[in-house]
Amino acid sequence: MLPPQIILFLLVLCNPRVWGQRKKPIVNPIDAIQSAANFDQNQFSGKWYLLSVSSECDYLKTNNHRVQATIIQVTQSKTSRGVETLDVSTFRKLDGICWEIKHAYLPNKAKKGRYALKAKGYSSNLDVVVAETDHQNYAILYYQRRNKITLKLYGRKTSVSDDINRKFDDHVSKQGIDLEYIYAFPTYGFCETADEFHILNEVPR
């Protein structure tokens, strides 16, 4: 079984502490994020390199020196019930061994570029928004669980232009996240396959 810290690391999301806090009206921050107007699911398919992550998660604050080169492979698919999905395989190393974690992103039928992901072990969905992309060079995605937002910058190659990095900085700043909480990921040491003993399939069928 995949160690739980891998899932925590890959999603890079924090659960808010609620001890002693009064209940407040539920506000869903990701609803305010606009998805890319030009988003095309077919063009979005293919391989993406994870270049940077921005999050105020305590895990990343203390373990950012341990980040590993990460690739996602995106394909369009359907479940056995005929539900269209965006299947995402994440490849990264743990202790020198390549792992593949498979997830299915369920599209919002009313709003393109918005998805929900249901992962085992979590009581709430992971909301995903493709906020900006040109499909050929870069993509900026927002991830949210329990009102905590993480931003990720992906590239078709292992680097992007300074203009694209500045775009990512702007998205981070608009979320009120200090730029010091942007963590660059390695640009070498990638793996694109995993043996049958190191695949975690979370895709519902």
Q: Cα separation of 134 and 193, whole Å?
A: 26
- Please state, in angstroms and rounded to a whole number, the distance separating the CA atoms of residues 91 and 10: 10
What pLDDT shows up at residue 4? 46
Strand segments, DSSP code E, in the chain are 46-54, 71-78, 84-94, 97-107, 114-117, 126-133, 138-145, 148-155, 182-184, 199-201
In this prediction, residue 203 carries a pLDDT of 74
Q: CA 5, 100, 167 angle in degrees (round to 5)? A: 80
pLDDT of residue 189: 94
pLDDT at 11: 45
How is the chain split into domains, by residue range? 30-190
- Show pLDDT as tens, one digit a residue, over the chain (205 residues): 555 454 444 445 554 443 344 555 567 899 999 999 999 999 999 999 999 999 999 999 999 999 999 999 999 988 777 778 899 999 999 989 999 999 999 999 889 999 998 766 555 679 999 999 999 999 999 999 888 999 999 999 999 999 999 999 999 999 999 999 999 999 999 999 999 999 998 876 5
Write down the number of H helices and E strands in the chain.
4, 10
- The pLDDT of residue 107: 93
Domain 30-190 sits in CATH at 2.40.128.20
68, amino acid identity: Q
